[in-house]
């Protein structure tokens, strides 16, 4: 599943090909992805793409008329291709550009979304989202204030999009390991000094993942297959039974909130 770094790399990958281009048409081959695709998206025709931004895991294709909001869901991806290239089985949405290219949305599981938002309006999908983790709005105080009465496991707490957006399962595991915090601990039992370290590590693991993904940007303009999610240097995620990178103990695996969780019980307290 695409997490925040993959979505940010997608934004970086498509932006040079789209910004400043006129949209000739938008075509969708299925009436519904996660939600119905709104007819309002046809207002994109004739518009110039002014920018590509990201909010949480949503990409915003910005024009003077409004924004197309794109969510990759569980299996979605975007490519910039020659418009003459025939669409494949799971190519559901095409944004045809004046330069002879097309932004093509592929989604085998159809759990993503294409939505519309008018200028100067906020879509309901953004209404309850927490701060972006790589901005100054995301701070130690954010966690301390919101965790006061929360007995939920700290891993589940930092993955709550109402608290902070985009800390998916992989990065929650990695940040908690780097901060030396047991993911099972109740959020209200994490000390202020530990929150300080955890905020630093969340920012670091996300920034590192985006940097690693930057090496794949050329894939967004290749016709021989959709861009895969980039290889990442992970310390504990997916490494159950292997030695901890900091000690000789083995990495354990368990479920927290129905999500696979990896930790070293010796290094994480």
Q: What positions carry a catalytic annotation?
A: 2-3, 57, 259
Which is nearest to 102 in space by CA: 84, 83, 89?
A: 83
| φ, ψ for residue 260, nearest 5 deg | -60, 130
65 is an annotated ligand-binding site residue? no
Q: How far apart are CA 39 and CA 180, in angstroms?
A: 49
Taken in order 101, 113, 216, 129, the sign of the CA dihedral is positive
Residue with tokens 């929150």: 195
Q: How far apart are CA 74 and CA 56, in angstroms?
A: 15
109 is an annotated ligand-binding site residue? yes
- Grouping H, G, I as helix, E, B as strand and the rest as coil, residue 49 is coil
Q: How far apart are CA 23 and CA 25, in angstroms?
A: 6
**DSSP letter, residue 163:** T
123 is an annotated ligand-binding site residue? no
Residues contributing to the annotated binding site: 90, 109, 150
Residues contributing to the annotated binding site for DNA: 90, 109, 150
């Amino acid at each position: 599943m695409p997490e925040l770094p993959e979505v940010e790399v997608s934004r970086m990958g498509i932006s040079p090909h789209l910004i400043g281009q006129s949209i000739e048409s938008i075509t969708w081959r299925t009436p519904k992805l996660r939600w119905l695709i709104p007819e309002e998206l046809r207002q994109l025709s004739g518009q110039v793409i002014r920018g590509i931004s990201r909010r949480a895991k949503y990409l915003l294709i910005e024009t003077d008329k409004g924004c197309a909001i794109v969510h990759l869901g569980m299996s979605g991806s975007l490519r910039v291709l020659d418009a003459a290239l025939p669409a494949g089985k799971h190519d559901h949405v095409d944004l045809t550009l004046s330069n002879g290219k097309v932004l093509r949305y592929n989604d085998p599981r159809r759990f993503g979304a294409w939505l519309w938002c008018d200028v100067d309006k906020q879509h309901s999908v953004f209404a309850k989202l927490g701060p972006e983790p790589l901005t100054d709005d995301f701070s130690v105080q954010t966690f301390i204030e919101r965790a006061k009465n929360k007995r939920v496991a700290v891993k589940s707490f930092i993955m709550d999009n109402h608290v902070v957006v985009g800390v998916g399962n992989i990065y929650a595991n990695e940040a908690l390991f780097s901060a030396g915090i047991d993911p099972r601990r109740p959020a209200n039992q994490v000390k202020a000094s530990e929150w300080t370290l955890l905020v630093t590590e969340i920012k670091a693991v996300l920034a590192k993942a985006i940097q690693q993904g930057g090496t794949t940007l050329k894939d967004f303009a290749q016709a021989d297959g959709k861009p895969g999610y980039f290889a990442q240097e992970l310390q504990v995620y997916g490494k159950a039974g292997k030695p901890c990178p900091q000690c000789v103990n083995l990495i354990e695996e368990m479920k927290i909130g129905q999500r696979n969780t990896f930790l070293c019980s010796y290094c994480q307290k």
